[in-house]
Structures are given as C-alpha cells and as structure tokens.
Amino acid sequence: MKKYRYLVALVLGGALAGCSGGMQPALPSAQNGITPLAHNSLSAAQGLPPMLRAALSASASWPETYFNAAHTGFNPLETTLSTSNVNGLKELWGYATPGTTIAAFAVDKSYVFALRGDYTLDAISGTTHQKIWSVGNLGASVNDPTLATAYGLVFVPCADTNDNGSGICAFSVKTGSLVWKVAHGYSCGGSALADPYVYDKGVIYAPWGQCGFHGMYALDAKTGQTVWGYNGYYAAGQGSAAAVGDGLVFYNCSFSSNNDAGVCALNQSTGALVWSVAYPQSCQPCEVSPGFTYNKGVLYEHLIFPDTNTGQVLALNATSGAQIWAGPVEHGNQGPAWPVAFAKGALYDSGTDDNLYRLNAKTGTKVWSQSFHTWGSAPSVANGVVYHNGGAPGSSAPFITAYDVASGKVLWADTQDTNGTVNPPPIVLNGSVYAATAAGSCTLCVYGLSSRERSRGGASANKH
C-alpha cells in the first residue's frame, strides 16, 4: 500500500485545504480550480484499487474542453457509470439559456461553467443548479471555442465592446470579476485569437494572428503575462483547438498566402518551431477545422478533404511529424473534424460521414462503426462506455447516446430529447453525464442514476 500513500495524501490534503481557512496548501488544490489527481496524475490513479479509485472519482473535475490538454476525452477516474448500469440514466436537472445554445462548458468541483452562443459566460452551482453569476457581452468570434479552469479562474474568449476581434479573459471562479485580459492586436482591429486555446500546467497556449504577429502566444494563466511568443506560420483561424503533449504544442497553421495549411509543433517551454508538416494536397486548403489528439508520442489528426468530400484520421510521429498510418476514409463532410478520443489503446472518432468509429490506435484499422443521426460532437469515454452527441441509428434527432466501447452496441439514449444536442462534447464525471442540447427545458442537461442503480456500477468495464 505504500505506493498509494502519496495519492491518498493528495486527496486528503485537498479536502483539508477546503476547511483550512487562511492556510495555504503546499500542493495544488481544489481552491486552484484543478485537483492534482484529476488533472496531473491520472495515469497513476488508473492503477489504484477500485474502492480507492471510487473515492478519488468523487473529487474529480473535468477542467477543460476535451478533458485535458492532449484532448483524449477520457476520464479514467469514473467508476459509478458502467456498461451494467448506464441504461438507467435519467435527467437529474437542467439549465436553460433561452434564445441561445451552449458553445462550451467545463466542470470544476461544485461549479459548472457554460459559455453561451450569445457570448455570455454563466457560472452554475452544481449543488443548487442555479446561476451564481453571469458575464455578458464577451463578443468573442472564435469558432468552436474551448473553456478551461485553473487557479480559481475560468478562461474564456472575449473581445472589446466595439471590436470584432477576440482575446482571452480570466474571471474569478467565485465572483465572476475580471482578473486579467489579453488582447494583442486590438489596436488594428480584426481577429487576434485565431483558434481555440488550450490550457496546460499553468500556461495558456493561444493561436494568434493580427497586426503583423502570426503564430502562438503562451500566457501565464495566473497573470496573463506573455511567457513566449512564436511569430512565424499563421494560425489558420478555422476553429481548430491547439493541443499539448510531451513538451510540444500542436496547432493548425497556414504556410502561405494561398492558405496551404498543415500542423506546426512548437517547443512548449521556448516557443521554438520544432517541425511543420503540410496536410495532404487533397486537403489544401483544409476549409474545415482539423482536430488534434496526443498520446504517448503520437499525434492523431482528424481531417476533412473538401475536394472529395471525405474525412480521415491520420497518425503522425509527434517528434518528427512523419505519418505512421491513415485510417479508413469517411465518405462525407458533415460538420467539423473533431478531435478523436483516446482510451486504452483505442480511438473513438466522430466521423464526418455520420458514423462513430472505434479504431485500433496502433494501426488505424476499424474495430467497429455505428451510424448516428447527424452533426455529432467529439466523443467522451469513461469506464467502458463512449458518450456522443449525435443520436443512435435511426433516431429523429442528434441526442446524447452511450455505446459499449467493446462492441459499439447502443446502451442508452435520451430519446425524450426531441430537440437534439449541439456540438460541445459530453462531460462524464462523478456518476453524471452533462450534455448541451439545442432547445427545450434545458440547454445543459445533466443525467444520473437513482440510488439503486448507482449500486449496480462496477469496475469490470475498465478492462477495455
């Protein structure tokens, strides 16, 4: 049990920190917006006994869009929901945003943050389910935005009142007050934040492009101060979120005035260009945002090829950019090419042809596929179940659906939601599923189990 003591100490330390008044813990805590285990020690947590993993799960957060900076979309701490009980999900509560939908959301302990389509940020209590505070008129114009929390702050795209450009604002989690704002390039108008940002280990990496600066800014998450800036290949500005893995930052970049595009990899510490690789010629220009996911030395990019109306997942060597494999061709170009989810040697791909795929992460070969209604979200995975906004086969709307990761079998779907879901990927956390919907009584719907159904949860699904 010695190897578990450090992890247990972190959990206890985080709990005590919340009751310690003015005492400041030596380690990151929930007061900082991200618990150490949920954000930084997930691989260690996966090896814990089921009972201890269940205890840790209760304190976990989903601190940013796609779960983490690598965009794996995989919560390894979830133990309540499983293949044996997910069919018992019922709507527990909902949050309505009349007249608009939700573009991005994240969960930080007792807070739920929702970025609305009308450029308003809402903080919602996970306990009372009521709005705590709201900030409107953010005016951001970034496609498919991301949201993240850390250090007691929530980070969101924003813009000056009379400016069409986008920057980044940090608001206090507790009060909604503005802590800092970065808006390089506003003096000459137009877009500054070109694509969705990514957060990792105290730094925000923001694709940027305006006023002679084109590339990437690294910003200190606590202060907004510039850590470094890379002024080189343009950020392509197509709604493709940057991703981070093993000391590299990956972003969608443009090489020339005719918009030939590819992926650029920067040194995470210095901002120096490490490599750049153009997308296949048939994807020039890539008019729809590519999705990036990183895992253990491999960068997975999901592309749409406009000349053939197809999509495909490619695996690249993250050190050099060399292609390792190309996945099956997706015959369609419905919606963005979202980041794939990665969990235990498998990729889960919301195909541009309205099919949800499981791929072998080493070879790219298809394990199974399941059709969905249309315009699916990026998938999310937890405890043997993959969750997807898109709708089960034959459905009349793209509602939230749960599939068995092993077989692709539909385990559950919210067929009562006839309005359908929207693009943000689902969040699976602490026995609950959060999904953004298009309309109805809730535009953010939260599902869970009854007390009896929760007791049926099991860790056996974690073998997949």
Report yes or no: 7 and 37 within 8 Å, Cβ to Cβ: yes
Report yes or no: 427 and 380 within 8 Å, Cβ to Cβ: yes
Tokens 């099956």, residue? 328
Calpha distance 350→344 (Å, rounded): 18
CATH 2.60.120.10 fits 86-463, yes or no: no
Total residues belonging to the chain: 464
Tokens 């007792």, residue? 110
Q: How many helices (H) and strands (E) would you count in the chain?
A: 5, 33
Question: Which value, to the nearest 10 degrees, does the dihedral of the CA atoms of residues 209, 211, 213, 214 take?
Answer: 30
pLDDT at 259: 62
pLDDT at 245: 96
Calpha distance 420→431 (Å, rounded): 22
In whole angstroms, how large is the CA radius of gyration of the chain?
21
DSSP, residue by residue, 146-211: --EEETTEEEEEE--TT-S--EEEEEETTT--EEEEE-TTGGG-S-SB-S--EEETTEEEEEEEET
Report yes or no: 327 and 336 within 8 Å, Cβ to Cβ: no
Name 447's Cβ contacts closer than 8 Å, sequence gap at least 6: 89, 90, 91, 92, 400, 414, 432, 433, 434, 435
pLDDT at 420: 56
SS (H, E, C) 330-372: ECCCCCCCCCCEEECCEEEEECCCCEEEEEECCCCCEEEEEEC
Calpha distance 137→54 (Å, rounded): 40
pLDDT in tens, 305-350: 877 888 999 999 999 999 999 999 999 877 788 999 999 999 999 9
pLDDT at 460: 46
Two tokens at 255?
A: 């090489």
pLDDT at 282: 62
pLDDT at 379: 95
Report yes or no: 92 and 126 within 8 Å, Cβ to Cβ: no
Angstrom distances, CA of residue 97 to CA of 2, 94, 104: 48, 10, 13
Amino acid at 46: Q
Report yes or no: 425 and 410 within 8 Å, Cβ to Cβ: no
Would you tell me how many other CB atoms lie within 10 Å of the CB of residue 384? 24
- Return the domain boundaries, the chain: 86-463
Report yes or no: 344 and 46 within 8 Å, Cβ to Cβ: no
Calpha distance 415→373 (Å, rounded): 12
Report yes or no: 339 and 241 within 8 Å, Cβ to Cβ: yes
In tens digits, what is the pLDDT along the chain, a chain of 464 residues?
A: 444 443 434 433 433 333 333 332 222 222 233 223 333 344 445 555 554 444 444 457 999 999 999 999 999 999 999 999 999 999 999 998 888 888 899 999 889 999 998 889 999 999 999 999 999 888 766 677 899 999 999 999 887 655 556 789 999 999 999 999 987 554 555 557 778 899 999 999 998 876 566 789 999 999 999 999 998 887 766 668 899 999 999 998 887 655 678 899 999 999 999 999 988 866 665 555 789 999 999 999 998 887 788 899 999 999 999 999 999 999 987 778 899 999 999 999 999 898 999 999 999 999 999 988 777 789 999 999 999 987 766 666 668 899 999 999 999 988 765 555 567 899 999 999 999 887 667 889 999 998 766 665 555 444 45
Query: Is 55 exposed, middle or buried, given 0-12, 13-18 or 19+ CB atoms closer than 10 A?
Result: middle
Report yes or no: 268 and 248 within 8 Å, Cβ to Cβ: yes
Report yes or no: 259 and 241 within 8 Å, Cβ to Cβ: no
Calpha distance 341→379 (Å, rounded): 6
Helix-helix angle 50-57:2-17, to 10 degrees: 20
Calpha distance 270→244 (Å, rounded): 14
Amino acid at 152: G
Calpha distance 62→296 (Å, rounded): 21
